[in-house]
Amino acid sequence: VALGGAPATRQVKLERECELRIEVAPDTPLRLRLLTGTAEIFGTEIAPEIWLTFPPRLKFAVFTWYGATIEMDGNTETDYTADETPMISYVNVHAVLEGRRNRAKASPSDVDLSQGPRVIVVGPTDSGKSTLSRMLLSWAAKQGWKPTFVDLDIGQGSITSPGCIAATPIEMPIDPVEGIPLEMPLVYFYGHTTPSVNADLYKVLVKELAQILERQFSGNAESRAAGMVINTMGWIEGVGYELLLQAIDTLNANVVLVLGQEKLCSMLKDVLKSKPNVDVVKLQKSGGVVSRNVKVRQRARSYRIREYFYGIANDLSPHSNIANFNDLSVYKIGGGPQAPRSALPIGAEPVADPTRLVPVTINRDLLHLILAVSFAKEPDQIISSNVAGFIYITDIDIQRKKITYIAPSAGELPSRCKLCMIPVRMVQGVLR
């Protein structure tokens, strides 16, 4: 132990098929490197000797198939070695998927046979869904495939920002620190972090996303054969369950991986038995998965949004811009009654139309909100259009009718469409 109680660098020897589970300290990053042997982090091999820097609070595991020595420099909240992991069963799934990809590749002209596996990962919150999705994608990418990652989890958002559903091809094993590269992902903005706020809108967006992906696949035999890995939300009861079934159906999933829930697995097996080409497979949850309470999850969301503007290592500097009120058209989706009460049959209550576009007057209520910038050219295209990126409102000057916002430095937002949609009361104040 070095002076001041800070630990010096230390080494951990890992036996074969063991993993080192780490939670980085809350305020300081952790440096780590591979000294001997081979090891991977959630499916991505790490290079020998090179120091990797992990941001505060990150939870991850370094797994080795054949044995390794790891060196760490810095504080951790916890770190321990585990010799019981479900990794063998996970890699067996990967092997089966690999076989299906090869079969698909061998018959590029056959509409059905040319379709590679479409895997959907389901289970309760904190069952390791995102982690398993990541491993399957990284292992596939390592073999040279370019599988499509579809993230339907609006709560955390591993592709862009929370509040979205998104898809992106994975061309390389996912970087253990940087995560998924942000090269032109297909993003649809939902604007809330729970689907119950507007489940109908969620369904519409999943359909839109599925349609575009279907179109892309039909023109690209390579990505069609590689297939997709779909990550889902942890909401598996009631409407959540219904949304899962809708996702399986809409995205034509043919492999359903159920993590750590007997009941969900048997329910899905039961309803899907009418579809003989869909396999439902139960997998064990890893003991390393860290449960996060509502607070921790909220905080993770805020950091995720911060990352979008400032980068993981605070290495990006967002641009601050000023616009006139009438340079910007702001809308929200949903809300507003569908029909006036007078037009309804006696006794009927007006219901809110879930996909109605409602213009929003710019005022101080927009302060500290995230707005999505749509690719739509006209307002009526907003729902069916994906989004170019996000802005964060930092000031609103009512007198001068000026709005100040920050936008990420990477890639200017398309100027032709200053149409924005606002999330209702999402992520308020996280960047202050």
Binding site for ligand ADP (CB under 6 A): 19, 21, 59-61, 123, 125-131, 234, 286, 288-290
Contact at 8 Å (CB) between 81 and 47?
no
User: Minimum distance between the CB of residue 124 and ligand ADP, rounded to whole angstroms?
Assistant: 7
Contact at 8 Å (CB) between 283 and 257?
yes
Q: Select 144 or 287, whichever has its Cβ closest to ligand ADP.
A: 287
User: Minimum distance between the CB of residue 400 and ligand ADP, rounded to whole angstroms?
Assistant: 44
User: Minimum distance between the CB of residue 99 and ligand ADP, rounded to whole angstroms?
Assistant: 25
For residue 187, give the DSSP letter.
E
Q: Select 76 or 223, whichever has its Cβ closest to ligand ADP.
A: 76
Q: Select 225 or 243, whichever has its Cβ closest to ligand ADP.
A: 243
Residue 32 to residue 194: CA distance in whole angstroms: 36
- Count Cβ atoms within 10 A of the Cβ of residue 81 and give its class: 0-12 exposed, 13-18 middle, 19 or more buried: middle
User: Minimum distance between the CB of residue 44 and ligand ADP, rounded to whole angstroms?
Assistant: 13
Q: Which of these, 12, 119, 8, 122, lies nearest to 61 by C-alpha position?
A: 12
For the residues of 5-38, what is the DSSP string, one character each? G----EEEEE-TTEEEEEEE-SSS-EEEEEEEE-
Enumerate the H helices of 182-255 as residue ranges: 199-218, 221-226, 239-250
For residue 352, give the DSSP letter.
B
User: Minimum distance between the CB of residue 151 and ligand ADP, rounded to whole angstroms?
Assistant: 10
Q: Select 115 or 286, whichever has its Cβ closest to ligand ADP.
A: 286
Q: 207: left (phi > 0), else alpha (psi -120 to 50), else beta?
A: alpha
Q: Select 19 or 307, whichever has its Cβ closest to ligand ADP.
A: 19
Contact at 8 Å (CB) between 389 and 407?
yes
User: Minimum distance between the CB of residue 294 and ligand ADP, rounded to whole angstroms?
Assistant: 13
User: Minimum distance between the CB of residue 39 and ligand ADP, rounded to whole angstroms?
Assistant: 13
Q: Select 129 or 304, whichever has its Cβ closest to ligand ADP.
A: 129
- What single-letter amino acid sits at 384? S
Using Cβ positions, the residue closest to ligand ADP within the complex turns out to be: 288
User: Minimum distance between the CB of residue 81 and ligand ADP, rounded to whole angstroms?
Assistant: 11
Q: Select 38 or 125, whichever has its Cβ closest to ligand ADP.
A: 125
Q: Which of these, 112, 129, 220, 130, lies nearest to 169 by C-alpha position?
A: 220
Distances (CA, A) of 323 to 211, 259, 363: 34, 47, 14
Contact at 8 Å (CB) between 376 and 330?
no
Q: How many other CB atoms are found less than 10 A from the CB of residue 331?
A: 19
Sign of CA dihedral 150, 153, 155, 158: negative
Q: Which of these, 59, 60, 79, 64, lies nearest to 18 by C-alpha position?
A: 64
Q: Select 204 or 289, whichever has its Cβ closest to ligand ADP.
A: 289
User: Minimum distance between the CB of residue 431 and ligand ADP, rounded to whole angstroms?
Assistant: 22
User: Minimum distance between the CB of residue 229 and ligand ADP, rounded to whole angstroms?
Assistant: 12
Q: Which helix (H) or strand (E) holds 229?
A: strand 228-231
Q: Position of tokens 């995102």?
A: 130
Structure tokens at 65: 């198939």
Q: Select 275 or 285, whichever has its Cβ closest to ligand ADP.
A: 285
User: Minimum distance between the CB of residue 179 and ligand ADP, rounded to whole angstroms?
Assistant: 11
Q: Select 84 or 110, whichever has its Cβ closest to ligand ADP.
A: 84
Q: Select 107 or 261, whichever has its Cβ closest to ligand ADP.
A: 261
